[in-house]
């Protein structure tokens, strides 16, 4: 049976993966190609009963999976990495269709998924050895929690989904993974590809909307939810999980500030600033969302960024000329369009729009720079998650630190200066989980990633992130009894 409405995906039979089986449904989700606004595929929508089957399968499979030693888990994760590499072009094609990003960026997403997988499984999982106040040895032993529920957003379906699988499997857990209802194609296809490589029930991948996500958060047999998404959805997950007091890792939104001092060359740093703000059409939680520039170089930075925006090609990700794709869905398109209208109405100076530009199709929005705005406008105060960047002027270091920190979010930030000592001092005072110096964007699975304030709970990646999927057990070892 073919569930596709487009010849681009007609060879695929998208299915849910439950207990090592391909599972269909009587109900389907339309998947929209954001470059056209048209349905490109249909996927089976998992029912509550099928969710229960997936959780039960994961529960059955978990003890045997946990009993496998670390080298064996690494071996099987290596097979998953090889499946990603061997099917890179195919998976990237599906990402372009469902998410909209250019093909080169989709290929990078698959490659990055493999890189993060390899980094994570190279981390040494070990017990800790301590000594208590009576000089008795104490061993901290770490056991898997059991079944992990992974909920993945639509902006980067594989690079945010694959690490959730690795966090779970490498630490001896099993997983039920739910991709976004907007971008399920690459994840469902991944489920099919890895099914022959892993024991049945260890990885279950199901498509569904908010109802399935809520049921996962409430489910008594899911021991932890690993969620990446919006603040609004993260709050809903936390409320739903409260009844079972399950563990949570929540990586939520950001309103990341970048601070640019006056000792840098505007022309030289503009391309890096632009990438930090507009990669994936601004649909990255840790992208630059507010740019603070010292008054001495304010106008040159604005003009340099505007020049890049003007020549950036926006369109269908399948075109080789496309540099930025569309917004992923109409809800996001409408929201970002509304924020742009609000910025214009607030007196913002809009830069970077091409002269006599043709109307774009689908959910495409050209990148723009908005100068001369201040705090109190939507574009500055809210997370836009789209290709529009406010540039704000500052003169005083203390003042700009205060303004950068004046947000409910705290995911990322960056400082740009030739004076690295000053950059370090400012970085230490920015209230964010990650601060970059002289660049912005990029995470490494060997380094903890998470936010402060409303940007999340807990961290992903690193030994700390892996242990968040495990239970610490303190074992005191006094002298033996005679």
- CATH number for position 168: 3.40.605.10
pLDDT band at residue 5 using 50, 70 and 90 as cut-offs: very low
Do 85 and 214 have their domain in common?
yes
Q: Which of 40, 285, 302, 364 is catalytic?
A: 285
Residue 113 · residue 77 · CB < 8 Å = no
To the nearest whole number, what is the mean pLDDT of the chain? 96
The answer to whether residue 480 is domain-embedded is: no
Q: What's the rounded mean pLDDT across residues 386-395?
A: 98
Do 62 and 167 have their domain in common?
yes
Q: Which residues of 105-136 are buried (b: 16+ CB within 10 A; e: fewer)?
A: bbbebbbbbbbbbebbbebeeeeeeeeeeeee
The answer to whether residue 67 is domain-embedded is: yes
Does the active-site annotation cover 90? Answer: no
Sheet holding 21-23, edge to edge: 21-23, 16-18, 203-205, 174-178, 147-151, 224-228, 247-251, 456-457
Q: What's the rounded mean pLDDT across residues 246-251?
A: 98
Q: Residue 454 is encoded by which pair of tokens?
A: 């409303």
pLDDT band at residue 11 using 50, 70 and 90 as cut-offs: confident
**What is the rounded CA–CA span in Å between residue 475 and residue 31?**
51
The answer to whether residue 446 is domain-embedded is: no
Q: pLDDT tens for residues 293-351?
A: 999 999 999 999 999 999 999 999 999 999 999 999 999 999 999 999 999 999 999 99
Task: Return the pLDDT at 1.
Answer: 32
The answer to whether residue 443 is domain-embedded is: no
Number of H helices, E strands in the chain: 15, 20
Task: Return the pLDDT at 357.
Answer: 73
Do 219 and 281 have their domain in common?
no
Task: Return the pLDDT at 423.
Answer: 98
Domain total of the chain: 2
Does the active-site annotation cover 285? Answer: yes
pTM over 0.75: yes
Do 164 and 292 have their domain in common?
no
Residue 140 · residue 127 · CB < 8 Å = yes
With residue 215 as reference, give the H or E element that holds it.
Answer: helix 210-218
Do 358 and 242 have their domain in common?
no
Do 83 and 215 have their domain in common?
yes
Task: Return the pLDDT at 437.
Answer: 98
Among 122-136, 253-267, 382-396, the minimum mean pLDDT is found in: 122-136
Residue-range definition of the domain harbouring residue 394? 256-437
- Which carries the bigger pLDDT value, residue 354 or residue 174? 174
Q: Residue 250 is encoded by which pair of tokens?
A: 């929540």
DSSP letter string, 350-396: EE-PPTTPPPP-TT----EEEES--TTSHHHHS---SSEEEEEEE--
Residue 194 · residue 20 · CB < 8 Å = no
Task: Return the pLDDT at 480.
Answer: 78
Whichever domain contains 275, its CATH number is 3.40.309.10
Q: What's the rounded mean pLDDT across residues 373-388?
A: 97
Name residue, tokens 């999976």.
Answer: 65
Q: What's the rounded mean pLDDT across residues 444-451?
A: 96
The answer to whether residue 321 is domain-embedded is: yes
Q: Which of 53, 98, 109, 251 is catalytic?
A: 251
The answer to whether residue 374 is domain-embedded is: yes
Q: pLDDT tens for residues 85-95?
A: 999 999 999 99
Residue 7 reports pLDDT greater than 70: no
Do 468 and 410 have their domain in common?
no
């Amino acid at each position: 049976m073919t569930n596709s409405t487009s010849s681009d995906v007609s060879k695929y039979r998208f299915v849910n993966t439950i207990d090592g089986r391909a599972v269909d449904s009587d109900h389907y989700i339309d998947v929209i190609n954001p470059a056209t606004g048209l349905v490109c595929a249909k996927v089976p929508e998992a029912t509550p009963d099928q969710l229960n089957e997936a959780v039960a399968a994961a529960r059955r499979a978990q003890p045997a999976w946990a009993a496998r030693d670390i080298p064996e888990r690494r071996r099987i994760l290596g097979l998953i990495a090889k499946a990603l590499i061997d099917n890179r072009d195919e998976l990237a094609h599906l990402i372009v269709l469902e998410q909209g990003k250019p093909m080169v960026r989709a290929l990078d997403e698959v490659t990055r998924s493999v890189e993060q997988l390899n980094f994570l499984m190279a981390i040494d999982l070990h017990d800790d050895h301590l000594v208590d106040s009576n000089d008795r040895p104490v061993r901290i032993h770490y056991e898997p929690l059991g079944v992990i529920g992974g909920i993945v957003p639509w902006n980067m379906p594989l690079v945010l989904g694959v690490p959730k699988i690795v966090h779970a499997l490498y630490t001896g857990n099993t997983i039920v993974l739910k991709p976004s209802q907007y971008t399920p194609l690459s994840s469902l296809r991944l489920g099919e590809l890895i099914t022959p490589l892993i024991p049945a029930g260890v990885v279950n991948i199901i498509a569904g909307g908010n109802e399935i996500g809520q049921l996962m958060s409430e489910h008594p047999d899911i021991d932890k939810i690993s969620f990446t998404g919006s603040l609004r959805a993260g709050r809903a997950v936390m409320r739903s999980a409260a009844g079972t007091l399950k563990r949570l890792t929540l990586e939520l939104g950001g309103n990341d500030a970048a601070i640019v001092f006056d000792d840098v060359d505007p022309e030289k740093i503009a391309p890096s600033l632009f990438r930090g703000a507009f990669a994936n059409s601004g649909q990255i939680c840790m992208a630059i969302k507010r740019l603070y520039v010292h008054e001495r170089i304010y106008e040159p930075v604005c003009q340099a960024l505007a020049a890049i925006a003007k020549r950036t090609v926006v369109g269908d990700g399948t075109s080789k000329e496309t540099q930025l794709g569309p917004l992923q869905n109409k809800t996001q398109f409408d929201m970002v369009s509304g924020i742009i209208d609000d910025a214009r109405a607030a007196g913002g100076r809009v830069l970077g729009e091409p002269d006599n530009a043709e109307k774009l199709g689908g959910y495409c929005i050209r990148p723009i720079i908005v100068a001369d705005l201040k705090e109190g406008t939507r574009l500055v105060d809210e997370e836009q998650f789209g290709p529009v960047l406010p540039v704000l002027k500052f003169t005083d270091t203390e003042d700009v630190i205060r303004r950068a920190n004046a947000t409910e979010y705290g995911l990322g930030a960056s400082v740009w200066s030739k004076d690295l000592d000053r950059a370090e001092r400012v970085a230490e005072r920015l209230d964010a989980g990650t601060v970059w110096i002289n660049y912005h964007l990029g995470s490494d699975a060997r380094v903890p990633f998470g936010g402060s304030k409303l940007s999340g709970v807990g961290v992903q990646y690193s030994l700390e992130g892996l242990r968040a999927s495990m239970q610490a057990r303190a074992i005191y070892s006094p002298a033996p009894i005679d």
